[in-house]
Amino acid sequence: MAKSDNFDPYEVFRRSVERYGDLPALRIGDRTWTYAELDAHAASIAGWCDRNAPSGSRIAVHGRKELAAYAGILGILRSGRSYVPLHPDHPRARWQVVLESSGAAACVADPSSTRALGDLVDRPVLSNWDGERPADVRQGSEAYVMFTSGSTGGPKGVPISRSNVSAYLEHMLTHHRFTTGDRFTQLFALTFDLSVHDLFVCWGSGGCLCVPGEDSALRISSYIASNGITVWFSVPSAVALLRRMRALVPGAFPGLKHSFFCGEALSWDLAHAWSEAAPNSAITNLYGPTEATIAITSFDVRAAMAHASGTVPLGGPIGTNEVQVSGDEGSSEGELWLAGPQVAQGYLGAAEATSRAFIHLPGDDAVWYRTGDRVRKDGEGILHFLGRLDDQVKVLGHRVEPAEVDFALAPLVPNGTVLTLATTLNGTTRLVTFIDTMMDTAPLVARLQEVLPPYMIPERIIAVDGFPTTGHGKVDRNALFKIADNG
């Protein structure tokens, strides 16, 4: 693909429709759709969007992994609008926040999801597009809005432009040799921006996007073999799970040609195990917050594997993006700042949060995003992850602010204090919440399940008769960690 090509997400799909219309584009469970068939569905959905939502508006997509979601995303983009995914497993209260915060004008959902939405959606909902008139391709400026965990009591919406996505796709589609014979995994939830890589890197290559059914997701090793998967993308914890299931054995995945990891720190231990399981695969470690569009740095794992230990580096910036380490003058360690064509402009309706995270430097027109990640830049310019500057953690690749859990729980613990901590067991991050009020915690868990996504529900809520304190009178977090680890 030439550097002069347009890498707009819908445009890369449209080109594949023209070139490879009869090739498989999407496989969900045992059902397959060609590029031509998928485009026809997208065109009909785009026509419905034109008749039911203002030009340039946002449209929600219920993210159940069915044809409606994938064709819906394509149809919305084809219509010049942007999509806002709703996670199928999130509580209705969370959907309501996302719908209201984004101002979504309509919603696309499969029939069963329409019933799940119920009376929550007071806007047009499309669940059957048979008979809809197809629409022409229209230009748009925004691609999608993803919501991340916030420390002030609710999720933050991150609007990502089509030019942001285009910059990412240009790098991925020109620097990696994908072919029309490649079959890509689609393991990420559609509310996770890494799913955008799954969809449009695949469709920009003429490959087939393979979506495991619920039963296949539990047997991912056999799914890789039976579906001829050649391109893998997951969070590192998915590899850790395969190893615990004793499925990560040498030579297990000989057909894989490309493996990508993102969303969490990748240990060299897991990288070595994966390299042996997938001996013919290139391995790339990616890094990037939602605000920097999918991934903004890259590291070739195999090239540095011989004597490596600890954590795989983040690498260096891709494309024309820029990075800098902000800290003491002359220091190579500090907070990682990002700028370039992939960096968003701010948060949706959150001016204060935007001003804190997105900044302008004197004499520099670029918008710099402060990641909150602490890094070290070595002599070769390679970035190494050292941890967070705040309490934010990753749970199964999702960003979680423990304070958001505390905010949701505090009203249910009157005259008490709530403190959520993140602990690690067998390489997996888990949340544990403490309250200093002796009470039944089962109703608290039930309430959290009504307002927070599953990955934010604490593994346990522990009631203690007062928080332990240090000699300075502060809460002794180390003591709480010991209680969490020892039950």
Indicate whether 4 belongs to any domain: no
Contact indicator for 389, 373 with CB cutoff of 8 Å: yes
Contact indicator for 101, 147 with CB cutoff of 8 Å: yes
Residue that is last in its domain, among 209, 234, 259 = 234
Helix, strand, coil fractions of the chain, as percent rounded to 5: 35, 25, 40
Indicate whether 334 belongs to any domain: no
Residue that is last in its domain, among 234, 265, 292 = 234
Indicate whether 68 belongs to any domain: yes
Full residue range of the structural domain in which residue 413 is found: 401-486
Going along 202-301, which residue ranges are E strands? Answer: 208-211, 231-234, 258-261, 282-287, 297-300
Residue that is last in its domain, among 182, 205, 234 = 234
DSSP-derived secondary structure letter, 122 = -
Going along 249-357, which residue ranges are E strands? Answer: 258-261, 282-287, 297-300, 316-317, 322-326, 333-339
Indicate whether 301 belongs to any domain: no
Indicate whether 84 belongs to any domain: yes
Number of domains making up the chain: 2
In sequence order, the β-bridge partners of residue 423 are 430
Render each residue's pLDDT in the chain as its tens digit; 487 residues: 444 369 999 999 999 999 999 999 999 989 999 999 999 999 999 999 999 999 999 999 999 999 999 999 999 999 999 999 999 999 888 999 999 999 999 999 988 887 777 666 678 889 899 999 999 999 999 999 999 876 556 789 999 999 999 999 999 999 999 999 999 999 999 999 999 999 999 999 999 999 998 766 568 889 999 999 999 999 988 888 888 888 999 999 999 999 999 998 898 989 999 999 999 999 999 999 999 999 999 999 999 987 677 889 999 999 999 999 987 666 788 999 999 999 999 999 999 999 999 999 888 889 999 999 989 999 999 999 988 787 778 887 787 888 788 878 878 887 777 888 888 766 678 899 988 888 888 888 988 898 888 888 998 899 888 878 765 455 787 888 888 877 6
Task: Supply the CATH number for residue 434's domain.
Answer: 3.30.300.30
Contact indicator for 431, 421 with CB cutoff of 8 Å: yes
Task: Supply the CATH number for residue 104's domain.
Answer: 3.40.50.12780
Contact indicator for 145, 84 with CB cutoff of 8 Å: yes
Q: pLDDT tens across 276-291, in order?
A: 999 999 999 999 999 9
